[in-house]
Amino acid sequence: MIDLVLALLSGAVGGLIIAFMPQCGSRLRNVVALSSSAAGAIFSWRVAGAVLAGRTIRIAGTNGGLAWSLHPDPLGVVFALIASTLWLFAAVYSFGYMAGEERQRTYYTYFLLALSVTLGVAFSGNLVSLYLFYELLTLVTYPLVIHERTEEAMKAGTKYIVYSLSGAGAILIAIVITYSLTGNLDFGGGALLADVSPGPGLGWALALFVAGFGVKAAVIPLHRWLPQAMVAPTPISALLHAVAVVYSGVYGILRVVYSVFGHELIGQLGFSHILPWIAAFTILVGVIIATQQDVLKRRLAYHTISQLSYILLGAFTLHPWGLAGAILHMISYSTLKVTLFFGAGIIAKQTGKVNVSEMSGVGRQLPGTLTAFGIASLGMIGMMPLNTFWSKYYLMKGSVAWGKSPLALVLIVSGIINAFCFIPTVVTAFTGEMRQPVANKERDARLMLVPTLLLAGIALLIGLCPGLVWPGVDAVINRFF
Amino acid sequence: MKTLLDKLIINYPYFAAVILFLIGAFTVLTRSNLFKKLIGINIMESAIFLMFIAAGNIRGGAVPILCQSNPEALYINPVPSALMLTGIVVSVSVTAFALALIIRLYQSYGTTDARRIAEMKREVT
Amino acid sequence: MLLILLPSIPLLGAFALLAVGDKDVNMPFIASSITLSLAGWGLRGVFRGEQLTYTLPFSGPYSPTFQADILSCVFVFLAAFLWWAVSIYTPEYMKKEGRARSFDISTLLTLSAVLGVFLAGDLFTMLLFFELMTISSYFWVIHRRNEEAIRAGYFYLFFSIFGGLLLALGIVFITTATNGLPALGRGSIPPVEPRIFAWGLAAIVAGFGIKAGMVPLHLWLPHAHSVSPTPASALLSGLLIKVGAYGLIRTGELAGWGLQWGNTTAWLGPALTILGSCTMLLGVIAALLQSDAKRLLAYHSVSQMGYIILGLGICLFLGNAGGLSLIGAIYHIVNHALFKAALFLGVGIIYVRTGETNLYNLGGLLRNFPVTALLMFLAVLGITGAPGLNGYASKTLLHHAVSAAAETGLPLMVWAERLFVLVGVGTATSFAKLYYLIFLGRPAKVEISECESRRFHVSMVILAIVMLGIGLLPGLIPQILAVPAAQALGIKGFAAGIDHLAFGNANDVVSALITLGLGAVACRVGLATGVFHWTPPLWLTLEGLGSILCHSLRVVGRVANESYASVVRLISSMGRAIRLSVSSAYRKMNNSTDGALGSITLPGISADAALLMMTLAILIACYTCIDLQLPNLRLPLSFPAWNIFQQLPH
Amino acid sequence: MTATIISNLPVFVVIAPLFVAFVLSTFARRIRLVESLVIAVLALGVLGAGYLASLVLMQNGIPITYSMGGWPAPWGIELVAGSLSAFFLLLVSGVSLPVALFTVANMTHEVGGSVRTTRFYVLYLLLAGALAGMAVTNDLFNVFVLVEVATLSCCGLVSACKHPRAAEAAFNYLILATLGSALILGGIGFLYIITGHLNMGFASMELCRIWQDYPHVVWIAGGFLLVGFGVKSALFPLHVWLPDAHSTAPSPASAILSGLAVKGYMICFIKVLYNVFGATLIQEFALDRILSLLGMVAIIAGSLFAVAQDELKRRLAFSTVAQVGYVFLGLGQVNVCSLTGTLFHIASHAVIKSGLFLAAGAIIAATGKTRISEMAGIGGRMPITMAAFTIGSLGMVGIPLFSGFIGKWHLLSGSLTAGSTLAPLVIVIGSVLAAAYLFPIIRTAYFEQAQATDGQDPGAPQRIALILLAAGVVILGVAPGPFLELASRAAVELLAIK
Confidence of residue A438 (pLDDT cuts 50, 70, 90): low
Beta-bridge partner residues of A68? A61
Confidence of residue C205 (pLDDT cuts 50, 70, 90): very high
Neighbours of B71 (CB within 10 A): 7
**pLDDT value at residue D456:** 76
**pLDDT value at residue B5:** 65
Peptide bond into C216 cis (omega under 30): yes
Q: Which of A288-302, A404-418, B35-49, C450-464 comes out lowest in average pLDDT? A: C450-464
Residue D81 or B71, more confident: D81
Beta-bridge partner residues of D64? D81
Q: Which of A244-253, C409-418, D462-471 comes out lowest in average pLDDT? A: C409-418
**pLDDT value at residue D324:** 92
Contacts of C103 (CB under 8 A, 6+ apart): C90, C94, C97, C139, C140, C143, C229, C232
Strands C52-55 and C65-68: antiparallel
Q: What percent of chain C has pLDDT over 90?
A: 10
Q: Is A436 on the interface with D (CB under 8 A)?
A: no
Task: Give yes or no for a contact between D441 and D396, defined as CB atoms under 8 angstroms apart.
Answer: no
CB atoms A136 and D480 under 8 Å: no
Q: Is C587 on the interface with D (CB under 8 A)?
A: yes
Q: Is the pLDDT of residue B121 over 50?
A: yes
Q: How many residues does chain B have?
A: 125
**CA angle centred on D76, ends D72 and D81, rounded to 5°:** 75
Neighbours of C570 (CB within 10 A): 10
Mean pLDDT for the stretch of residues D171-187: 86
Quote the CA–CA distance of A115 and A430 in Å, as a whole number.
36
Task: Give yes or no for a contact between C635 and A204, defined as CB atoms under 8 angstroms apart.
Answer: no
**pLDDT value at residue A64:** 60
**pLDDT value at residue C538:** 62
Domain count of chain B? 1
Give the count of alpha carbons within 13 A of D200, CB side only: 27
Beta-bridge partner residues of D371? D311
Give the closest residue to C482 by CA, choosing from C46, C70, C177, C111: C70
CA-based nearest residue in chain B for residue D187: B48
Give the closest residue to A12 by CA, choosing from A111, A155, A95, A92: A111
Q: Is A132 on the interface with D (CB under 8 A)?
A: yes
Residue C73 or A65, more confident: C73
DSSP string, C64-76: -EEEE-HHHHHHH
Tell me the three-class secondary structure of A8-44, residue by residue. Answer: HHHHHHHHHHHHHCCCCCHHHHHHHHHHHHHHHHHHH
CB atoms B34 and C602 under 8 Å: yes
Quote the CA–CA distance of D404 and D394 in Å, as a whole number.
8
Quote the CA–CA distance of C317 and C314 in Å, as a whole number.
5
Give SS3 for D63: coil
Cα–chain center distance at C520:
32
Q: Is residue C217 part of a domain?
A: yes
Per domain, the residue ranges of chain A are 274-481
Q: Same domain, yes or no, for C262 and C114? A: yes
List, for residues A157-204, the tens digit of each pLDDT value.
888 988 998 899 999 888 888 888 887 888 877 788 877 777 777 888
Q: What percent of chain A has pLDDT over 70?
A: 97
Q: Is the pLDDT of residue C16 over 70?
A: yes
ipTM of the complex in this document: 0.82
Q: Is the pLDDT of residue C110 over 90?
A: yes
Contacts of A63 (CB under 8 A, 6+ apart): D406, D478, D479, D480
CB atoms D449 and A149 under 8 Å: yes
Task: Give yes or no for a contact between A157 and A238, defined as CB atoms under 8 angstroms apart.
Answer: no
**CA angle centred on C87, ends C86 and C91, rounded to 5°:** 115
Quote the CA–CA distance of A37 and A89 in Å, as a whole number.
9
Give the count of alpha carbons within 13 A of A103, CB side only: 18
Mean pLDDT comparison of A35-44, C265-274, C431-440, C593-602, highest-scoring range: A35-44
Q: Is the pLDDT of residue C632 over 50?
A: no
Residue D144 or C62, more confident: D144
DSSP string, A41-81: HHHHHHHHHHHHTT----EEEEETTEEEEE---HHHHHHHH
Q: Is the pLDDT of residue C230 over 70?
A: yes
Mean of pLDDT over chain C:
80
Nearest to B44 among D156, D171, D182 (CB): D182
List, for residues D422-454, the tens digit of each pLDDT value.
888 889 899 988 988 898 888 888 887 777 667
Residue B120's domain comprises 2-124
Chain A residues touching C127 at Cβ < 8 A: 384, 389
Q: Is C616 on the interface with D (CB under 8 A)?
A: yes
Cα–chain center distance at B112:
22
**CA angle centred on C550, ends C545 and C551, rounded to 5°:** 95
Give the closest residue to C448 by CA, choosing from C376, C345, C364, C341: C364
Mean pLDDT for the stretch of residues A94-119: 87
Q: Is the pLDDT of residue C542 over 70?
A: no
Give the closest residue to A287 by CA, choosing from A371, A342, A218: A218
**pLDDT value at residue C384:** 87
Q: Which of A59-68, B43-52, C554-563 comes out lowest in average pLDDT? A: A59-68
Å from C648 to nearest chain A CA?
5
Chain B residues touching D152 at Cβ < 8 A: 93-94, 97
CB atoms D178 and B94 under 8 Å: yes
Q: Is C558 on the interface with D (CB under 8 A)?
A: no
Nearest to A63 among D399, D449, D478 (CB): D478
Task: Give yes or no for a contact between A312 and A356, defined as CB atoms under 8 angstroms apart.
Answer: no
Chain C residues touching A390 at Cβ < 8 A: 61-62
List, for residues D31-84, the tens digit of each pLDDT value.
788 888 888 888 888 888 888 888 888 877 677 888 777 777 777 788 888 888
List, for residues A201-242, the tens digit of each pLDDT value.
788 888 889 999 999 988 888 888 888 888 888 888 888 888
How many angstroms separate the first and last alpha carbons of chain C? 55
**Interior/surface letters D284-304, b for 16+ CB within 10 angstroms, e for the rest:** ebbbbbbbbbbbbbbbbbbbb
**pLDDT value at residue D150:** 92
Give SS3 for D454: coil
List, for residues D360-400, the tens digit of each pLDDT value.
988 888 888 888 888 888 888 888 889 999 999 999 988 88
Strands D64-67 and D78-81: antiparallel
**Side chain identity at D353, as an amino acid letter?**
K
List, for residues A296-351, the tens digit of each pLDDT value.
989 999 999 999 999 999 988 888 999 999 999 999 999 999 999 999 998 888 88
Contacts of A44 (CB under 8 A, 6+ apart): A7, A77, A80, A81, A83, A84, A85, A119
Domain count of chain C? 2
**CA angle centred on D299, ends D294 and D300, rounded to 5°:** 105
Q: Is B11 on the interface with C (CB under 8 A)?
A: no
Q: Is residue C650 part of a domain?
A: no
Q: Is A384 on the interface with C (CB under 8 A)?
A: yes
Q: Is the pLDDT of residue C647 over 50?
A: no
Give SS3 for D400: coil
**pLDDT value at residue C592:** 41
Residue C190's domain comprises 2-535
CB atoms A135 and D431 under 8 Å: no
CA-based nearest residue in chain A for residue C56: A465
B74: domain CATH number is: 1.10.287.3510
**pLDDT value at residue D342:** 93
DSSP string, D279-315: HHHHHHTTHHHHHHHHHHHHHHHHHHHHHH--BHHHH
User: How many A-D residue pairs are in contact by the CB < 8 A criterion?
Assistant: 77
Å from A334 to nearest chain C CA?
20
Confidence of residue B71 (pLDDT cuts 50, 70, 90): low
Nearest to C635 among D227, D240, D421 (CB): D421
List, for residues C118-176, the tens digit of each pLDDT value.
999 888 899 999 999 999 999 888 888 888 888 888 888 888 999 999 999 999 988 88
- φ and ψ of D432, to 5 deg: -65, -40
Task: Give yes or no for a contact between D395 and D477, defined as CB atoms under 8 angstroms apart.
Answer: yes
Quote the CA–CA distance of A158 and D308 in Å, as a whole number.
16
Confidence of residue A2 (pLDDT cuts 50, 70, 90): confident
pTM for this predicted structure: 0.86
Q: Is the pLDDT of residue A151 over 70?
A: yes
Which chains have 3 or more CB–CB distances shorter than 8 Å to chain C? A, B, D
List, for residues D92-118, the tens digit of each pLDDT value.
988 989 988 888 877 777 777 777 888
List, for residues D326-350, the tens digit of each pLDDT value.
999 998 888 888 999 999 999 999 9
**pLDDT value at residue C641:** 32
Chain D residues touching A149 at Cβ < 8 A: 447-449
Q: Is D108 on the interface with B (CB under 8 A)?
A: no
Å from B28 to nearest chain C CA?
7
Q: Is the pLDDT of residue D249 over 60?
A: yes
CB atoms D424 and A176 under 8 Å: yes
Q: Is A180 on the interface with C (CB under 8 A)?
A: no
List, for residues B75-99, the tens digit of each pLDDT value.
777 778 888 888 899 899 999 999 9
**pLDDT value at residue C620:** 54
CB atoms D237 and C616 under 8 Å: no
Beta-bridge partner residues of C65? C55
Task: Give yes or no for a contact between D217 and D285, defined as CB atoms under 8 angstroms apart.
Answer: no
Task: Give yes or no for a contact between C189 and C180, defined as CB atoms under 8 angstroms apart.
Answer: yes
DSSP string, A358-372: G-TTHHHHSHHHHHH
| Residue that terminates a domain, selected from C535, C563, C588 | C535
**pLDDT value at residue C598:** 39
Give SS3 for C496: helix
Mean pLDDT comparison of C22-26, C438-442, D7-11, D293-297, highest-scoring range: D293-297
CA-based nearest residue in chain A for residue D430: A169
Q: Which stretches of C480-541 are DSSP H helices?
A: 483-488, 495-500, 506-529
Q: Is the pLDDT of residue A425 over 60?
A: yes
Give the closest residue to C161 by CA, choosing from A420, D420, A109, D230: A420
Residue C77 or B53, more confident: C77
Strands D64-67 and A59-63: unpaired
Mean pLDDT for the stretch of residues D124-130: 90
Mean of pLDDT over chain A:
87
User: How many A-C residue pairs are in contact by the CB < 8 A criterion?
Assistant: 143
Q: Is residue C638 part of a domain?
A: no
Å from A103 to nearest chain D CA?
11
Å from C175 to nearest chain A CA?
8
Q: What is the largest CA-CA distance in chain D?
A: 70
Q: Is A274 on the interface with C (CB under 8 A)?
A: yes
Confidence of residue C537 (pLDDT cuts 50, 70, 90): low
Q: Is residue C142 part of a domain?
A: yes
Å from C593 to nearest chain B CA?
8
**pLDDT value at residue A79:** 92
Q: Is residue C646 part of a domain?
A: no
Beta-bridge partner residues of A126? A186
